[in-house]
A and B are shown apart, each in its own frame.
Chain A
Amino acid sequence: MFILECSNITKNYGACKALDSVNLQLEKGKIVGLLGPNGSGKTTLLKLANGLLSPTSGSISIAGGSPGVHSKKIVAYLPERTYLNEWMKVKDIVAFFADFYANFSREKAIDMLQALGLPQNAKLSSLSKGNKEKVQLILVMAREAELYLLDEPIGGVDPAARDYIINTIIRNYSASATILLSTHLIQDVERIFDSVVFLNKGKIALQGPVDDIREEKGCSIDELFREVFKC
Protein backbone atom coordinates (compact mmCIF):
# COMPACT_ATOMS: atom_id res chain seq x y z
CA MET A 1 0.00 0.00 0.00
CA PHE A 2 1.31 3.41 -0.91
CA ILE A 3 1.46 6.04 1.80
CA LEU A 4 0.24 8.62 -0.72
CA GLU A 5 -1.62 7.87 -3.89
CA CYS A 6 -2.93 10.50 -6.30
CA SER A 7 -5.14 9.14 -9.07
CA ASN A 8 -5.82 11.50 -11.93
CA ILE A 9 -5.92 14.52 -9.67
CA THR A 10 -7.16 17.68 -11.32
CA LYS A 11 -7.62 20.93 -9.41
CA ASN A 12 -9.18 23.95 -11.04
CA TYR A 13 -9.33 27.44 -9.67
CA GLY A 14 -11.99 28.87 -11.88
CA ALA A 15 -10.48 28.77 -15.34
CA CYS A 16 -6.96 28.07 -14.13
CA LYS A 17 -5.82 24.44 -13.97
CA ALA A 18 -3.48 24.18 -11.03
CA LEU A 19 -3.09 20.41 -11.38
CA ASP A 20 -3.88 18.37 -14.49
CA SER A 21 -4.45 14.63 -14.25
CA VAL A 22 -1.62 14.04 -11.83
CA ASN A 23 -0.79 10.45 -11.01
CA LEU A 24 1.62 9.87 -8.19
CA GLN A 25 2.42 6.99 -5.86
CA LEU A 26 4.73 7.33 -2.92
CA GLU A 27 6.14 4.33 -1.09
CA LYS A 28 7.08 4.20 2.55
CA GLY A 29 10.61 4.98 3.59
CA LYS A 30 11.37 7.39 0.78
CA ILE A 31 12.46 11.01 0.67
CA VAL A 32 10.96 12.52 -2.46
CA GLY A 33 11.68 15.91 -3.94
CA LEU A 34 8.75 17.84 -5.45
CA LEU A 35 10.39 20.29 -7.80
CA GLY A 36 9.03 22.89 -10.13
CA PRO A 37 8.93 26.62 -10.80
CA ASN A 38 6.54 28.97 -9.00
CA GLY A 39 2.96 28.28 -9.90
CA SER A 40 3.63 24.76 -11.07
CA GLY A 41 1.19 23.30 -8.59
CA LYS A 42 3.54 22.07 -5.84
CA THR A 43 1.76 23.83 -2.99
CA THR A 44 -1.64 22.80 -4.39
CA LEU A 45 -0.55 19.17 -4.42
CA LEU A 46 0.68 19.35 -0.85
CA LYS A 47 -2.52 21.03 0.30
CA LEU A 48 -4.60 18.32 -1.38
CA ALA A 49 -2.61 15.68 0.45
CA ASN A 50 -3.37 17.14 3.85
CA GLY A 51 -7.02 17.87 3.28
CA LEU A 52 -6.83 21.65 3.01
CA LEU A 53 -8.18 21.44 -0.53
CA SER A 54 -10.52 19.06 -2.31
CA PRO A 55 -9.70 17.92 -5.82
CA THR A 56 -11.94 19.01 -8.68
CA SER A 57 -11.70 15.47 -9.99
CA GLY A 58 -9.72 12.37 -9.24
CA SER A 59 -8.98 10.86 -5.88
CA ILE A 60 -6.30 11.08 -3.29
CA SER A 61 -5.61 8.56 -0.57
CA ILE A 62 -3.34 8.57 2.45
CA ALA A 63 -2.41 5.12 3.73
CA GLY A 64 -5.39 3.78 1.86
CA GLY A 65 -7.97 6.21 3.22
CA SER A 66 -9.26 9.58 2.05
CA PRO A 67 -7.97 12.76 3.72
CA GLY A 68 -9.77 13.41 6.99
CA VAL A 69 -9.31 13.37 10.74
CA HIS A 70 -7.64 9.98 10.50
CA SER A 71 -5.06 10.99 7.93
CA LYS A 72 -4.29 14.22 9.79
CA LYS A 73 -3.05 12.16 12.70
CA ILE A 74 -0.34 10.59 10.59
CA VAL A 75 0.47 13.50 8.27
CA ALA A 76 2.80 16.30 9.37
CA TYR A 77 2.52 19.41 7.23
CA LEU A 78 4.85 22.35 7.04
CA PRO A 79 3.28 25.15 5.02
CA GLU A 80 5.29 27.87 3.37
CA ARG A 81 3.66 30.51 5.56
CA THR A 82 3.99 31.11 9.26
CA TYR A 83 0.88 29.97 11.04
CA LEU A 84 2.00 30.79 14.55
CA ASN A 85 -0.29 32.96 16.65
CA GLU A 86 0.74 36.11 18.41
CA TRP A 87 0.04 35.38 22.03
CA MET A 88 1.76 32.06 22.66
CA LYS A 89 5.32 31.44 23.78
CA VAL A 90 7.53 28.78 22.25
CA LYS A 91 6.83 26.40 25.12
CA ASP A 92 3.09 27.01 24.72
CA ILE A 93 3.01 25.94 21.09
CA VAL A 94 5.07 22.87 22.01
CA ALA A 95 2.45 22.01 24.64
CA PHE A 96 -0.26 22.64 22.07
CA PHE A 97 1.22 20.15 19.66
CA ALA A 98 1.75 17.63 22.42
CA ASP A 99 -1.90 18.04 23.34
CA PHE A 100 -3.33 17.45 19.90
CA TYR A 101 -0.91 14.95 18.41
CA ALA A 102 -0.35 11.62 20.09
CA ASN A 103 2.79 11.03 18.03
CA PHE A 104 4.45 14.31 19.02
CA SER A 105 7.73 13.94 20.89
CA ARG A 106 8.24 16.77 23.35
CA GLU A 107 11.82 15.68 24.07
CA LYS A 108 12.78 15.82 20.42
CA ALA A 109 11.23 19.25 20.06
CA ILE A 110 13.06 20.61 23.09
CA ASP A 111 16.36 19.11 21.93
CA MET A 112 16.03 20.70 18.54
CA LEU A 113 14.99 24.05 19.98
CA GLN A 114 18.08 24.04 22.16
CA ALA A 115 20.32 23.00 19.30
CA LEU A 116 19.09 25.93 17.26
CA GLY A 117 19.27 28.35 20.15
CA LEU A 118 15.57 29.12 20.37
CA PRO A 119 14.53 30.09 23.91
CA GLN A 120 11.43 28.35 25.19
CA ASN A 121 10.17 31.39 26.97
CA ALA A 122 10.31 33.64 23.96
CA LYS A 123 7.05 35.05 22.70
CA LEU A 124 6.29 33.80 19.21
CA SER A 125 5.49 37.33 18.10
CA SER A 126 9.01 38.45 19.07
CA LEU A 127 10.80 35.91 16.89
CA SER A 128 12.30 36.86 13.56
CA LYS A 129 10.77 35.35 10.44
CA GLY A 130 13.65 32.91 10.11
CA ASN A 131 13.27 31.78 13.70
CA LYS A 132 9.53 31.35 13.33
CA GLU A 133 10.19 29.07 10.37
CA LYS A 134 12.68 27.10 12.43
CA VAL A 135 10.12 26.65 15.20
CA GLN A 136 7.51 25.45 12.73
CA LEU A 137 9.94 23.00 11.20
CA ILE A 138 10.92 21.66 14.61
CA LEU A 139 7.28 21.14 15.53
CA VAL A 140 6.79 19.11 12.36
CA MET A 141 9.99 17.08 12.68
CA ALA A 142 9.23 16.30 16.32
CA ARG A 143 6.19 14.37 15.19
CA GLU A 144 6.53 10.69 14.46
CA ALA A 145 4.34 10.86 11.40
CA GLU A 146 4.01 8.52 8.46
CA LEU A 147 3.96 11.23 5.83
CA TYR A 148 5.78 14.54 6.05
CA LEU A 149 4.75 17.24 3.62
CA LEU A 150 7.33 19.99 3.67
CA ASP A 151 6.75 23.11 1.62
CA GLU A 152 10.05 24.98 1.26
CA PRO A 153 11.50 23.91 4.60
CA ILE A 154 14.91 25.52 4.12
CA GLY A 155 14.09 28.55 2.02
CA GLY A 156 14.05 31.18 4.71
CA VAL A 157 16.83 30.01 7.01
CA ASP A 158 20.55 30.68 7.09
CA PRO A 159 23.01 28.12 5.63
CA ALA A 160 24.11 26.77 9.00
CA ALA A 161 20.54 26.12 10.06
CA ARG A 162 19.93 24.68 6.63
CA ASP A 163 22.62 22.05 7.21
CA TYR A 164 21.17 21.26 10.61
CA ILE A 165 17.73 20.82 9.11
CA ILE A 166 18.96 18.57 6.30
CA ASN A 167 20.87 16.56 8.88
CA THR A 168 17.79 16.28 11.05
CA ILE A 169 15.83 14.94 8.11
CA ILE A 170 18.47 12.27 7.50
CA ARG A 171 18.76 11.43 11.17
CA ASN A 172 15.00 11.08 11.54
CA TYR A 173 14.74 8.89 8.50
CA SER A 174 12.58 5.88 9.08
CA ALA A 175 11.66 3.03 6.78
CA SER A 176 8.05 3.52 7.83
CA ALA A 177 7.86 7.21 7.05
CA THR A 178 7.91 9.17 3.81
CA ILE A 179 8.91 12.75 3.18
CA LEU A 180 7.61 14.80 0.27
CA LEU A 181 9.71 17.94 0.14
CA SER A 182 9.12 20.84 -2.20
CA THR A 183 11.97 23.27 -2.69
CA HIS A 184 13.81 25.70 -4.95
CA LEU A 185 17.19 25.15 -3.33
CA ILE A 186 17.83 21.91 -5.18
CA GLN A 187 21.60 21.99 -4.99
CA ASP A 188 21.58 21.94 -1.20
CA VAL A 189 19.19 19.06 -0.83
CA GLU A 190 19.43 16.84 -3.84
CA ARG A 191 21.66 14.39 -1.97
CA ILE A 192 18.92 13.44 0.43
CA PHE A 193 16.35 12.52 -2.20
CA ASP A 194 15.51 8.96 -3.17
CA SER A 195 13.54 10.21 -6.12
CA VAL A 196 12.24 13.43 -7.59
CA VAL A 197 9.07 14.60 -9.29
CA PHE A 198 9.25 17.54 -11.68
CA LEU A 199 6.01 19.46 -11.86
CA ASN A 200 5.39 21.83 -14.74
CA LYS A 201 2.18 23.84 -15.09
CA GLY A 202 0.23 21.26 -13.14
CA LYS A 203 1.56 18.23 -14.98
CA ILE A 204 4.28 15.77 -14.05
CA ALA A 205 7.13 16.42 -16.46
CA LEU A 206 9.49 13.82 -15.09
CA GLN A 207 9.87 11.49 -12.15
CA GLY A 208 12.23 8.79 -11.02
CA PRO A 209 15.03 7.68 -8.71
CA VAL A 210 17.77 10.29 -8.49
CA ASP A 211 20.83 8.14 -9.11
CA ASP A 212 19.16 6.64 -12.19
CA ILE A 213 18.53 10.16 -13.49
CA ARG A 214 22.11 11.19 -12.77
CA GLU A 215 23.39 8.14 -14.61
CA GLU A 216 21.04 8.58 -17.53
CA LYS A 217 21.38 12.31 -18.00
CA GLY A 218 24.95 12.59 -16.80
CA CYS A 219 24.19 15.68 -14.74
CA SER A 220 22.93 16.72 -11.33
CA ILE A 221 19.26 17.19 -10.53
CA ASP A 222 19.90 20.91 -10.15
CA GLU A 223 21.42 21.00 -13.64
CA LEU A 224 18.54 19.00 -15.09
CA PHE A 225 16.03 21.30 -13.48
CA ARG A 226 17.61 24.33 -15.05
CA GLU A 227 17.50 22.62 -18.39
CA VAL A 228 13.90 21.41 -18.18
CA PHE A 229 12.59 24.70 -16.88
CA LYS A 230 14.70 27.05 -18.93
CA CYS A 231 13.07 30.43 -19.21
Chain B
Amino acid sequence: MQWKLDNNAPLYLQIADKVKLGIVSGEYAPGKRIDSVRDLAEQTGVNPNTMQRALSRLEDEGLLSTNRTNGKYVTEDTELINQIKDELAKKYVENFLASMKQMGFSGNIILALVQHEVGKGENANVYTGM
Protein backbone atom coordinates (compact mmCIF):
# COMPACT_ATOMS: atom_id res chain seq x y z
CA MET B 1 0.00 0.00 0.00
CA GLN B 2 1.98 2.87 -1.27
CA TRP B 3 0.09 5.95 -0.24
CA LYS B 4 1.31 9.15 -1.72
CA LEU B 5 2.28 11.18 1.29
CA ASP B 6 3.47 14.75 1.24
CA ASN B 7 6.50 15.56 3.35
CA ASN B 8 5.50 19.18 3.51
CA ALA B 9 2.63 18.59 5.89
CA PRO B 10 2.31 16.59 9.10
CA LEU B 11 2.32 12.92 8.14
CA TYR B 12 0.11 11.70 10.95
CA LEU B 13 -2.77 13.85 9.72
CA GLN B 14 -2.39 12.62 6.15
CA ILE B 15 -2.29 9.02 7.30
CA ALA B 16 -5.34 9.53 9.50
CA ASP B 17 -7.17 10.90 6.46
CA LYS B 18 -6.16 7.97 4.27
CA VAL B 19 -7.29 5.43 6.83
CA LYS B 20 -10.50 7.36 7.37
CA LEU B 21 -11.10 7.23 3.64
CA GLY B 22 -10.44 3.51 3.69
CA ILE B 23 -13.04 3.08 6.39
CA VAL B 24 -15.77 5.18 4.78
CA SER B 25 -15.21 3.59 1.39
CA GLY B 26 -15.58 0.16 2.90
CA GLU B 27 -12.01 -0.91 2.16
CA TYR B 28 -11.66 -1.44 5.88
CA ALA B 29 -14.95 -3.10 6.61
CA PRO B 30 -16.87 -2.31 9.80
CA GLY B 31 -15.89 -4.57 12.67
CA LYS B 32 -12.85 -5.92 10.83
CA ARG B 33 -9.39 -5.93 12.27
CA ILE B 34 -6.81 -3.74 10.59
CA ASP B 35 -3.12 -4.55 10.36
CA SER B 36 -0.96 -3.83 13.36
CA VAL B 37 0.70 -0.45 13.84
CA ARG B 38 4.05 -2.02 13.06
CA ASP B 39 2.84 -3.66 9.84
CA LEU B 40 1.08 -0.53 8.65
CA ALA B 41 4.15 1.56 9.45
CA GLU B 42 6.29 -0.83 7.44
CA GLN B 43 3.88 -0.88 4.52
CA THR B 44 3.72 2.88 4.40
CA GLY B 45 7.35 3.50 5.19
CA VAL B 46 6.72 5.73 8.19
CA ASN B 47 7.77 5.78 11.81
CA PRO B 48 5.59 3.51 13.96
CA ASN B 49 5.02 6.34 16.43
CA THR B 50 3.64 8.46 13.61
CA MET B 51 1.33 5.63 12.59
CA GLN B 52 0.24 5.19 16.20
CA ARG B 53 -0.53 8.89 16.46
CA ALA B 54 -2.64 8.77 13.31
CA LEU B 55 -4.61 5.74 14.47
CA SER B 56 -5.09 7.21 17.95
CA ARG B 57 -6.63 10.25 16.33
CA LEU B 58 -9.17 8.01 14.59
CA GLU B 59 -9.77 6.23 17.86
CA ASP B 60 -10.59 9.56 19.44
CA GLU B 61 -13.09 10.14 16.64
CA GLY B 62 -14.61 6.76 17.35
CA LEU B 63 -13.76 5.13 14.06
CA LEU B 64 -11.28 2.69 15.55
CA SER B 65 -11.07 0.84 18.80
CA THR B 66 -8.18 -0.98 20.37
CA ASN B 67 -8.58 -4.44 21.74
CA ARG B 68 -5.51 -4.68 23.90
CA THR B 69 -4.37 -8.14 22.87
CA ASN B 70 -5.78 -8.39 19.39
CA GLY B 71 -5.02 -5.08 17.75
CA LYS B 72 -7.16 -2.38 16.28
CA TYR B 73 -10.66 -2.82 14.92
CA VAL B 74 -12.87 -0.69 12.72
CA THR B 75 -15.99 0.40 14.54
CA GLU B 76 -19.26 -1.38 13.84
CA ASP B 77 -21.16 1.85 14.25
CA THR B 78 -22.28 2.19 10.60
CA GLU B 79 -24.24 5.30 11.46
CA LEU B 80 -21.03 7.03 12.57
CA ILE B 81 -19.25 5.83 9.44
CA ASN B 82 -21.97 7.25 7.22
CA GLN B 83 -21.91 10.48 9.15
CA ILE B 84 -18.17 10.82 8.60
CA LYS B 85 -18.64 9.86 4.96
CA ASP B 86 -21.16 12.66 4.53
CA GLU B 87 -18.83 15.12 6.25
CA LEU B 88 -16.02 14.10 3.93
CA ALA B 89 -18.24 14.35 0.88
CA LYS B 90 -19.31 17.81 1.92
CA LYS B 91 -15.66 18.84 2.37
CA TYR B 92 -14.70 17.45 -1.05
CA VAL B 93 -17.54 19.32 -2.69
CA GLU B 94 -16.64 22.51 -0.89
CA ASN B 95 -12.99 22.18 -1.99
CA PHE B 96 -14.06 21.36 -5.52
CA LEU B 97 -16.37 24.33 -5.73
CA ALA B 98 -13.74 26.63 -4.27
CA SER B 99 -11.21 25.50 -6.90
CA MET B 100 -13.70 25.85 -9.73
CA LYS B 101 -14.87 29.26 -8.57
CA GLN B 102 -11.25 30.36 -8.38
CA MET B 103 -10.97 29.56 -12.08
CA GLY B 104 -13.98 31.72 -12.70
CA PHE B 105 -16.67 29.15 -13.47
CA SER B 106 -20.24 30.01 -12.54
CA GLY B 107 -22.50 27.64 -10.64
CA ASN B 108 -24.49 26.58 -13.74
CA ILE B 109 -21.43 25.72 -15.80
CA ILE B 110 -20.06 23.74 -12.88
CA LEU B 111 -23.29 21.73 -12.64
CA ALA B 112 -23.25 21.07 -16.39
CA LEU B 113 -19.65 19.92 -16.30
CA VAL B 114 -20.32 17.58 -13.38
CA GLN B 115 -23.41 16.14 -15.05
CA HIS B 116 -21.42 15.48 -18.20
CA GLU B 117 -18.73 13.57 -16.30
CA VAL B 118 -21.25 11.56 -14.28
CA GLY B 119 -23.11 10.70 -17.46
CA LYS B 120 -20.06 9.09 -19.03
CA GLY B 121 -20.48 5.29 -19.06
CA GLU B 122 -17.51 4.30 -16.92
CA ASN B 123 -18.36 6.69 -14.12
CA ALA B 124 -22.04 5.66 -13.93
CA ASN B 125 -21.39 2.56 -11.79
CA VAL B 126 -19.13 4.34 -9.37
CA TYR B 127 -21.72 6.97 -8.50
CA THR B 128 -24.94 4.99 -8.41
CA GLY B 129 -23.83 3.33 -5.19
CA MET B 130 -24.69 6.52 -3.30
- Are chains A and B touching directly in their complex (CB below 8 angstroms)? yes
Q: Which residues of B contact A222 (CB under 8 A)?
A: 7
Q: Which residues of A contact B50 (CB under 8 A)?
A: 191, 194, 210-211
Assuming the contacts A191-B47, A194-B47, A194-B49, asked whether A170 and B11 have C-beta atoms less than 8 A apart, the reply is: no
Assuming the contacts A170-B47, A194-B50, asked whether A211 and B11 have C-beta atoms less than 8 A apart, the reply is: yes
- Is B29 an interface position by the 8 A CB rule? no
Q: Which residues of A contact B46 (CB under 8 A)?
A: 170, 191-192
Count of B residues near A, CB < 8 Å? 19
Stretch in contact with the other chain, from A64-72, A117-125, A145-153, A212-220: A212-220
- The CA-CA distance from A171 to B51 in the complex, in Å, is 13
- The CA-CA distance from A173 to B50 in the complex, in Å, is 12
Count of A residues near B, CB < 8 Å? 26
- Is B26 an interface position by the 8 A CB rule? no
Query: Do the beta carbons of A215 and B10 come within 8 Å of each other?
Result: yes
Query: 1/0 per position for B41-59, CB-CB distance to A under 8 A?
Result: 1100111111001000000
- A218: contacting residue among B8, B12, B13, CB under 8 A: B8
Assuming the contacts A167-B42, A171-B38, A173-B41, asked whether A192 and B8 have C-beta atoms less than 8 A apart, the reply is: no
- The CA-CA distance from A166 to B41 in the complex, in Å, is 11
Query: Do the beta carbons of A214 and B38 come within 8 Å of each other?
Result: no
Q: Which residue on chain A has the smallest CB distance to residue B49?
A: A194
Q: Which residues of B contact A221 (CB under 8 A)?
A: 7
Q: Which residues of A contact B42 (CB under 8 A)?
A: 167, 170-171
Give, as a whole number of angstroms, the nearest-CB distance from B41 to chain A: 5
**Interface residues, chain A, with chain B CB atoms under 8 Å away:** 29-31, 163, 166-167, 170-171, 173, 187, 190-194, 210-212, 214-215, 218-223
**Can you list 5 contacts pairing A with B, beta carbon distance less than 8 Å?**
A31-B49, A170-B46, A173-B47, A214-B7, A222-B7
